[in-house]
A and B are shown apart, each in its own frame.
Chain A
Amino acid sequence: MSNVIPNLTPQPSVTSASNSSEFLQGAKATIPMIIGAIPFGIIFGTLAESSGLSIWGAMAMSLFVYAGSSQFIALGLLATGVGPIIIIATTLVVNLRHLLYATALVDKISHLSHGWRALLAFGLTDESFAVVNGRYLGHTDTARAHWFFLGSIVAMYSNWQLCTWLGIGLGELFPDMTNWGLDFAMSVTFLGIVIPYLRNKPMWLAVISAATFAMILRDLPHQLGLVIAALSGVCIGYASQQIELRIKPAKVASTATNTESTKTTNTKTGSTKP
């Protein structure tokens, strides 16, 4: 994912950096994500009132839930008159992916105190995961990388609060802002995060099948379609990776011995190495 944080990879100085410079690097690497989150945060604030959420409710959601896509989905459900229990359940389902983000990072943070872990977990969004995962994969020395992680979270979090607040204000000034299509900002940010992953056939297959399933199953209740689409995508990707591993060594018999191990490493860090 060196492409996500282009200004970090060529700097060996990071390895001996202080806590504060790690923190700043983390905030800096998050800038592209912030650009995408600005219109998205604003549109959240704007939509809140017309969906039936109070101003304080919108602010509290950004402060305490802090999960862009599920806040957005909650507004949609509120607008159609769905009750709180269903909204909470949907939030759980939509955010289950963060469990998998946490699983991917858990070995890197196991040396930290519980306070640190709770803090970093609270801020584990799609955006910070993408940036922080790039940091952990791109460098061998990760002793101070939790400061990088925190820097990313603080930058992303402050921006999200500011934009929600701005959106609430703008929504009162321009009631027709909801038709401007600012929700495209989330789509294009996520699209930008996905692109560096698309470096091998199994990944392409996984992404295309997940997208197709998500569209076919779009009308299933409570975002079930999203969950099924994601699970099928992961299974299809993993299965085709296994099939590829089994076919390739047979094709190139001479190099068969190290193909499997190389392939495995490539896929694990697939997003970092071109």
Chain B
Amino acid sequence: MNETMMIAGMALVTFSVRYVMFAMAGRIRFPLWFKQALTYVPPVVLSAIIAPLILMPEGYLDISLANPYFWAAVVAASVGFWRQHLLTTIVVGLVSFVLIKWMMS
């Protein structure tokens, strides 16, 4: 019961957040500064989500050799900047993560 309510609530808020702007399409105009500020939103939010996951997986800042998340991210980012190709970045990141973890164990 609790679970159904929770999932229904999560579905409702998620859909509302995604739909509200589309529903009002054509009826709102945004100032230029707002549109310019918006271009920063995706990269900023995504990096705010992943920075703690990559740099502090155990709850404290860890850039030692014992943190496979950090080193795999370094490899993935280097390949990402070099090749500029998303699929390559993701695959190289995943493979190097598995390898680094395996080498550490």
Residues of chain A having any CB pair with chain B under 8 Å = 3-4, 6, 31-33, 35-36, 39, 53-54, 57, 60-61, 64-67, 69-70, 74, 84-85, 87-88, 91-92, 95-107, 109-110, 114, 117-118, 120-122, 124, 126, 129-130, 133, 180-181, 183-198, 202-203, 206-207, 210-215, 218, 226, 229-230, 233-235, 237-238, 241, 264, 267-268, 270-271
Q: CB distance B97 to A103 under 8 Å?
A: no
A233 to B13, CA, bound (A): 24
How many residue pairs between the two chains, A and B, have CB atoms under 8 Å in the bound complex? Answer: 265
Q: Are A88 and B101 in contact (CB under 8 A)?
A: no
Contacts A215-B56, A215-B61: A230 and B44 contacting too (C-beta < 8 A)?
Answer: yes
Q: Given A53-B3, A184-B72, A188-B89: A95 and B42 within 8 A (CB)?
A: no
Which of B10, B20, B97 lies in contact with A188, CB distance below 8 A? Answer: B97
Question: Given A92-B13, A121-B19 in contact, is the A191-B50 Cβ separation under 8 Å?
Answer: yes
Measured between beta carbons, the chain B residues less than 8 angstroms from A110 are 25-26
CB proximity of A133 to chain B, nearest CB, Å = 8
A129→B21 CA distance, assembly (Å): 14
Q: Pick the contact of A64: B7, B19, B61 (CB < 8 A).
A: B7
Contacts of A95 in B (CB 8 A): 13-14, 17-18
Chain A hits for B49, CB < 8 A: 69, 190, 214, 226
Say whether A36 contacts B90, CB under 8 Å.
yes
Q: Which of B11, B47, B53 contacts A183 (CB 8 A)?
A: B53
Encoded as 1 (CB less than 8 Å from any A CB) or 0, chain B from 9 to 39 comes to 1110111011111111110101011011111
B90 smallest CB distance to A (angstroms): 5
User: Across the interface, do B47 and A210 meet the contact criterion of CB distance under 8 Å?
Assistant: yes
Complex: A91 Cα to B12 Cα, angstroms:
10
User: In the complex, which residue of chain B has the Cβ closest to the Cβ of A74?
Assistant: B10
Among B54-105, those with CB < 8 Å from A are 54-56, 61, 68-69, 72-73, 76-77, 80-81, 84-87, 89-91, 93-94, 97, 101
Measured between alpha carbons, how far is A179 from B55 in the docked complex, in Å? Answer: 18
The B contact surface, by secondary structure, is: helix
Q: Which residues on the B side are within 8 Å of A98 (C-beta)?
A: 14, 17-18
Q: Say which residue of A61, A92, A104, A214 sits within 8 Å of B17 (CB atoms).
A: A92
Q: Are A96 and B48 in contact (CB under 8 A)?
A: no
Complex alpha-carbon distance, A226 and B53, angstroms: 12
Q: Which 9 A-B pairs have the closest CB atoms?
A: A188-B93, A211-B51, A84-B6, A233-B44, A110-B25, A102-B21, A88-B9, A32-B87, A121-B19
| Cα–Cα distance between A77 and B28 once the two chains are bound (Å) | 36
Asked if A191 meets B15 with Cβ closer than 8 Å, knowing A60-B7, A121-B22, A230-B45, the reply is no
